[in-house]
Structure 1
Amino acid sequence: MKNTPWLVIGAGAIGLFWACKLEELGYKVHLVYRSENPGKKITLESLTNENGDQQITVSKHKIKSVAASELTDTYDKVLLCTKSFDLKNAFLQVAQHITDDANIACLCNGIGAQEELQNALSENQTLWAGTTSEGVLKIEPNHIKHTGLGDTYFGEWQPSIPAKAFPIDGLTVTNIHQRMIEKLAVNAVINPITAIFSIHNGDILNDEFKPLVNATLSELASVFSHPKFSYADQSQHLTPENLKNRVNTIAQLTRLNRSSMHEDIRLQRQTENSFISGFLLNNSPIDLPIQQLLYNGVAFPEQREETQKKLLSIT
């Protein structure tokens, strides 16, 4: 199966990064872009080595890039690196080129889009939901910076018996729903706060944001420990202290990075707000006033300045 190419859909920072990673692992890679053609070579600039130490290295990766309408081959391994709201439609655009028994993986923020994609697959296609904490910035259409080391995991969205293994060794987990809730919790803090205040990820650790961050973590822990939360079985361990450690670690590891939501607002693009704060607001059995403020601050630009004041007044 390794001889068949991976089809990577999405030429954003994560899509370009994984196209390069797969090429390094010895796979052929075909990359589908939508608006910006990255060309035939992608530049990957790494600011850290595998030990996490600062060490700038630059590598070039030869990747075949095409628009969805230009595809002619058939693929049994697909990795979708799109925004949550684009996930299903991005797959449908290439579905005729995907085999009936394909492994289809996705890396997107939030929860909700995965179920929409699962419903669009055929019976024998396997959906692998993924999470990643890699820090990557897109500098140009064909140039990315790897700003922070992280982990990436994939698990079957609908577990099978016997359990299957992901096509890449070492990335398979059986508790992907738990890991997605853990990632959602981090995203529900870092993404909206950095977007609303236009700051880098590491800046949320500054003193001025500590009361807001701590209050947000406490509120999230109240949801995750509630027995009527829709993912209660996967979230009971997310105490305020556990959440604080996770958020602080990711903020520190990606301190030089700007969150995807920050970039979406800066570039006046649609955000994944509905799949992060929106998911929590729609699925929480209790009121979430801070998440509601964070949701509104992202969704309504005209309210952003007033929302900033309300968030910073939280003690």
Structure 2
Amino acid sequence: MRIGVIGGGAIGLLLASLLKQTGYSPVLYVRTEAQKNEINEKGILYLPGEITSYVYAEHIKDLSQMDIYFICVKQHDICSVNSRLSGLSGTVIYLQNGMGHVDMLHNMTEEQTIVLGTCEHGAKKRDQRTVIHTGKGKINLALYNGNAALLTRYKEVLNDKRFPVEQVADWGIMLIDKLMINIVINPITALFQVKNGELLTNTHLHKLAKVVCSEACAVLEVNEQQQWKRITYIIEQTKENDSSMKEDIALGRQSEVEGILGYVLKKTSHQSSVIHFLYLSIKALEEKRG
């Protein structure tokens, strides 16, 4: 089975390494020649464990026909990836934070099997070829469009103790559950530059997190008590981790705030909210840091 992993960030490196460890030979598509050459020369270094996975890397401009494409880029890069997928017929699996990318799928062909997914793994990119697996989890997949039987077959083939895959019936519920986690954790940790656990241990950040949860639940029409219970569990499990948005802001990169907080703001006309404040704050930090 030909598997393409698009994106040389933390999740892309992690998935490519784990797929190689389970016996597949994925092709990792990256944005720069430097990363491509380093991975082809030295492989992907998986930590902890010091496992070197010799994965073949290609530049994204040389994207070729695969059976499955795991899309691991940030939401703001989805449009450029989708344009490169035009004319290719493999099953496309999107693994983004937030839900902004769902609105970008209408240009995909109706015949193509499109799968939406969430990644519960924690990963941190140390350098161009090194990924730290900070938390083991699973990949959740739900059919958005196309061949349901094909998704079931791929799920059964890919599922492995080192690469757990679960098929979910409703992509909307799956994405909203992940979105709620990102809405609460990512912008607050990014704005205050704290680890996830401080949302429970810092009295004021804890109150702020609850307010954000309440606002988002009202807009998305989901049960606040259930969502807060899930979110606090995830915070506890990842208390020593840095959110992806925190790292993006710290490193001067564009964040996924549009697909997370921006998605919620598009669903409401109420602009004088804590979520709106957080959205503007993250955008201000992005502008400030170029």
Q: TM-score range by the shorter chain?
A: 0.7 to 0.9
Aligned to 1:20: 17
TM-score, scaled relative to structure 1: 0.80
Q: Is the 8 A contact 1:68 1:94 kept in 2?
A: no
Flag the 1:159–1:186 CA change in 2: closer, same or farther, 3 A: farther
Distance 2:217 2:112 in 1: 35
Q: How does 1:211-290 map to 2 (within 5 A)?
A: 211-225=207-221, 235=222, 238-239=223-224, 241-284=225-268, 286=270, 289-290=273-274
* 1:257-299 residue CA offsets vs partner (Å, 9 max, x unmatched): 2111111111111111111111101113655601011101101
Identical aligned residues as a percent: 27
Deviation at 1:122, TM superposition (A): 2.1
Aligned to 1:154: 141
Q: How does 1:88-127 map to 2 (within 5 A)?
A: 88-96=79-87, 98-99=88-89, 102-116=90-104, 118-127=105-114
Q: Is the 8 A contact 1:153 1:176 kept in 2?
A: no
Distance 1:288 1:138 in 2: 36
Q: Is the 8 A contact 1:136 1:257 kept in 2?
A: no
Flag the 1:24–1:162 CA change in 2: closer, same or farther, 3 A: closer
Q: Residue 7 in 1 paired to residue 10 in 2?
A: no
Distance 2:257 2:214 in 1: 20
Flag the 1:302–1:126 CA change in 2: closer, same or farther, 3 A: closer
Deviation at 1:61, TM superposition (A): 0.7
Q: Residue 199 in 1 paired to residue 187 in 2?
A: no
Q: Residue 292 in 1 paired to residue 276 in 2?
A: yes
Aligned to 1:180: 175
The aligned length equals: 274
Deviation at 1:141, TM superposition (A): 0.8
Aligned to 2:47: 45
- For residue 32 of structure 1, give the secondary structure of its aligned residue in structure 2: strand
Q: Is the 8 A contact 1:84 1:275 kept in 2?
A: yes
- For residue 117 of structure 2, give the secondary structure of its aligned residue in structure 1: strand
* 1:213-253 residue CA offsets vs partner (Å, 9 max, x unmatched): 1222222222233xxxxxxxxx3xx32x2222221222222
Q: Name the amino acid aligned to 1:112.
A: G
Q: Name the amino acid aligned to 1:58.
A: E
Give ranges in structure 1 of 5+ residues lacking alignment: 47-56, 226-234, 305-315
Flag the 1:167–1:88 CA change in 2: closer, same or farther, 3 A: farther
Flag the 1:93–1:302 CA change in 2: closer, same or farther, 3 A: closer
- For residue 256 of structure 1, give the secondary structure of its aligned residue in structure 2: coil
Aligned to 2:26: 29
1:67 paired residue among 41, 56, 59 = 59
* 1:15-45 residue CA offsets vs partner (Å, 9 max, x unmatched): 0111112212222200000033351311111
Distance 1:113 1:33 in 2: 20
Q: Is the 8 A contact 1:154 1:166 kept in 2?
A: no
More helix by share: 2
